Structure 1
Amino acid sequence: MWEDAGEAPKRIVPDGCVDLVECGGEVFVAGPDTTAWTWETPPDARASGVRFAPGRARDVLGLGADELRDQRVPLGDLWGREGELLAERVLCGGVSLTDVVTRRRSDGADREISELITRLDSGVPRVSAALGRFATGERQLRRRFTLAVGYGPATYLRVTRFQRAIGLAPTAPDLASLAVSAGYADQAHLSRDCREFAGIQAREFFRAKKCAMSIVDR
C-alpha cells in the first residue's frame, strides 16, 4: 500500500510493477511502464494505491500485464459494470482497494515465473544466465513471463538493474562507481538506460535522488 499527499510532481520511472490507484475521483490501473511519466496528485487531494509485486497483478486483474503496458486504465473499462460498481464503492468509502484485491485474487502464481524474476533480481549479467534448469522450454517461458510482467525478461533485467542503481545512488561517490555497483558494464551503459527510462541525463536524475534522500534524513 502507498499514499501520496501531492506535495510536488513526481517522475515515475519503470519498476516492473502494476498499481491499482484511487485518486481525484477515479479508480484506475497503472500498467507496467517502459519510460518515465509525471505523477501529480490534484491540490487538496490524496492518492492511494496497491502496488503488485512484479508478475503478480494478473492474479487479480485477470488479464496479461502486457495488455496494460504504458497505460492508465479505469477500473470500469477493465472489468465492465462490476468494475464501475467497485470503483463507486471505493470512492464512497464502502470498500478499500485491499478489499478489491482480496475479492478478485486467485491462487494463480506461476512458480517458474516467480523463480525467474528472483534470478533476474539477483543481479545476473544477462537473461541467459537466469534461464537454465527450467522444465519449460525457453520460448514458452519468455511468453509466460511477458504475460505476467508486461514485458520480456531482457527489458525486465534492464529495469531491475536501473532500480538497483536508484537504491544505491544515495551512497555512491560518483556515477562510475554507481554503474559498477549496480551491475552495469560502465558509466555510459548506465547513462543510456537513464535517458531511456527516466527521460533525463543520469547526472541530473541521480543528483535529484541524492537531494531527496538528504532531505528525508534530516
Structure 2
Amino acid sequence: MSGRYRQHDYAPGQALRCHWQYVQGPRAAPALVLPDACVDLLWDGARLSIAGPDRRAQYAHLAPGSRLQGLRFAPTAAARWLGVPLHALADQRVELRDLGVRHLARLADRMADREPGDAMAWLADRILGEGHRGDAMQAVHAQLSRAHPASIAQLAGELGITERTLLRRCDEAFGYGPKLLARILRLQRFLQARHHRATLLEAALDAGYYDAAQLAGDTRQLTGLTPTQLVARVAD
C-alpha cells in the first residue's frame, strides 16, 4: 500500500461532506485520484489550495512521508463558498491566494499562522458555521446519482428551464454538464457496488450500466484503465 487514508464524515445536509487525511508511504508512488464530482480544499501544512472538479482521473505525486489534509464540499456548496463558477477550476489545483478573491486570500494567510495540527479543523468549523442552504442544482445531483436517472430533458422540464440553461447552471455548480456528471456518478456507483457483487458485470448493472461494453468505455475515457485495472488500483 502506497499511503494511509483516514476520513471523518460530517452529518448530511451541511456544507462539508468530510475531513480526510492522507499520509504518503515510504515510496513516492503516484496516488490515483478519480473523478468523483467533488471539490476539495487541500492543506499541506503551508499552502491552502482548491482541487477543482476533475473530468478524468489524475495522479498526485507526493514526497515519501508527506501529509495532506482535505475538506470535501457537499454538492453545489463549493461554488457558493468560493464565489467562483466551478468550470473555471475544472481539472486544476489552485492556491486560494491566486483566485483573486480578497477574503479567501486573507483566510489562507490566517491558516498559515495557525498550528499545523489544528488549522484544518479550525477552517472546517468556520465553513460549517456559515450554514448551507439547498438549491435546485442539489436536486439535479440527487437525480443523477440514481442508477436510472431522469433524462436531461426531463430534468430541465422539472426545473422549468431550458436544457441550455441547465447545462450552464451545471457548469457553474459542478464544473461540467449534466451528461458528464451522470457518467462520473455512475462510475462511482460501480466502485461502491463491486464490494457486494460477485462479478464486475453484476456491479456494473447495479450501477446503471447497460452492459460490460458501456462500463469498459466509461472507465477507459474517465480513467485510462480497464474495469479490471481500475478495481485493482482502487483496492491496492
Aligned match of 1:181 in 197, 206, 211? 206
Q: Are residue 39 (structure 1) and residue 57 (structure 2) matched?
A: no
TM-score by length of 1: 0.84
Q: Are residue 116 (structure 1) and residue 140 (structure 2) matched?
A: yes
Percent identity, please. 31
User: Counterpart of 2:158 in 1: which secondary structure?
Assistant: coil
Instruction: Name the CA shift for 1:113/1:52 in 2 (closer, same or farther; >3 Å).
Output: same
Give the whole-Å Cα distance in 1 for the aligned partners of 2:80 and 2:65. 33
Give the whole-Å Cα distance in 1 for the aligned partners of 2:77 and 2:227. 30
What RMSD over aligned residues (CA atoms) do the two structures have, in Å?
2.5
What amino acid sits opposite 1:13 in the alignment?
L
Other-structure match for 1:157 = 182
Greater Cα shift, 161-170 or 118-127: 118-127
Instruction: Name the CA shift for 1:175/1:103 in 2 (closer, same or farther; >3 Å).
Output: closer
Aligned match of 1:87 in 79, 86, 108? 108
Greater Cα shift, 23-32 or 57-66: 23-32
User: Counterpart of 1:5 in 2: which secondary structure?
Assistant: strand
Other-structure match for 2:16 = none
Other-structure match for 2:76 = 55
**Alpha-carbon offset, residue 56 of structure 1:** 1.5
Quick check: 2:193–2:204 contact (8 Å CA) kept in 1?
Answer: no
What amino acid sits opposite 1:120 in the alignment?
L
Quick check: 1:120–1:127 contact (8 Å CA) kept in 2?
Answer: no
Quick check: 2:153–2:163 contact (8 Å CA) kept in 1?
Answer: no
Quick check: 2:194–2:203 contact (8 Å CA) kept in 1?
Answer: yes
**Alpha-carbon offset, residue 205 of structure 1:** 1.0
Other-structure match for 2:93 = 72
**Alpha-carbon offset, residue 179 of structure 1:** 1.7
What amino acid sits opposite 2:171 in the alignment?
T
Greater Cα shift, 51-60 or 183-192: 51-60
Unaligned runs of 5+ in 1: 213-218
**Alpha-carbon offset, residue 149 of structure 1:** 0.7
Give the whole-Å Cα distance in 2 for the aligned partners of 1:35 and 1:103. 28
What is the total number of aligned residue pairs between the two structures?
Answer: 211
Aligned match of 1:9 in 17, 27, 30? 30
Give the whole-Å Cα distance in 1 for the aligned partners of 2:230 and 2:121. 33
**Alpha-carbon offset, residue 6 of structure 1:** 1.3
Other-structure match for 1:96 = 119
Other-structure match for 2:219 = 194
Quick check: 2:42–2:68 contact (8 Å CA) kept in 1?
Answer: yes
